[in-house]
Amino acid sequence: MDQCEQDHVADDSDILMKIYQQYDEFIQSVIRFSARNAEDREDIYQEVFIALSVKSDLDGIRDIKGYLFRLVVNKANEFLRRKISQELRFKEYVKKQIDKTENQSEQELFSVEQMDKAVEMIREYLSEKESEAVLLRFKHHYGNEQAAQKMNVKKETLIRYVSVGLKKLRQIAKGSASADKERRGTL
């Protein structure tokens, strides 16, 4: 990189820092309006930061507040559409797995590939602690006390993680089954 390019990168970094110093609260408030979940808000905030950091010619933006508003709303909408799409795909996957396993024996229930997919889905849709607790209990067959020791938490905390995780998985599966019944017109 020559000196001119280095100066331009430094200028863009300075402008980016000034934007965040001056408009961070505005960005956060637009994100809070767009997303209720704290994890979603953090993800959207990161996407806005990345979009701003890769944008060249930040000093050429005339109405920075308007630009930021549109950027945040667009990133929030993209994020939420992507999340809904992932949830729908997961629900369809769960439904297919339920349909496939209704007539299988317990030994045939999960192939290694199916188990890997289920583990991936659990990790994607549950919090880190919930997924770890569910996997320790049901994939690795740990008892509550063993799993709690492995996670360095109290037994009651582990039970709460497992309970909340299973509740979320049931809601996802229930939503998938309800959507299927709706499509068939049986609701």
Q: Is 141 helix (H, G, I), strand (E, B) or coil?
A: coil
d(CA 34, CA 25) in angstroms, rounded, equals: 14
pLDDT at residue 28 in the model: 92
Question: What 8-state DSSP symbol labels residue 107?
Answer: T
pLDDT at residue 139 in the model: 81
Please work out, in degrees rounded to the nearest 5, the angle formed at the alpha carbon of residue 10 by the alpha carbons of 9 and 14. 115
pLDDT at residue 9 in the model: 45
Residue identified by tokens 């309970």 is: 163
pLDDT at residue 59 is higher than 60 = yes
pLDDT at residue 73 in the model: 95
**For 122-132, what is each residue's pLDDT tens digit?**
888 888 999 99
pLDDT at residue 32 in the model: 92
Q: What is the mean pLDDT of residues 113-130?
A: 80
pLDDT at residue 100 is higher than 70 = no
Mean pLDDT, the chain, integer: 79
CA-nearest of 151, 144, 149 to 128 is 151
pLDDT at residue 26 in the model: 94
> Could you give phi then psi for residue 57, rounded to 5 degrees?
65, 50
Q: Which domains does the chain have, with CATH numbers?
A: 3-83 (1.10.1740), 110-184 (1.10.10.10)
d(CA 26, CA 106) in angstroms, rounded, equals: 54
- Full-model pTM: 0.49
pLDDT at residue 114 is higher than 80 = no
Q: In this structure, what token pair is assigned to residue 113?
A: 């590939």
Q: Is 185 helix (H, G, I), strand (E, B) or coil?
A: coil
pLDDT at residue 77 in the model: 94
pLDDT at residue 123 in the model: 82
pLDDT at residue 186 is higher than 70 = no
**For 141-176, what is each residue's pLDDT tens digit?**
888 889 999 999 999 998 899 888 888 887 877 765
Q: Is 76 helix (H, G, I), strand (E, B) or coil?
A: helix
d(CA 39, CA 26) in angstroms, rounded, equals: 18
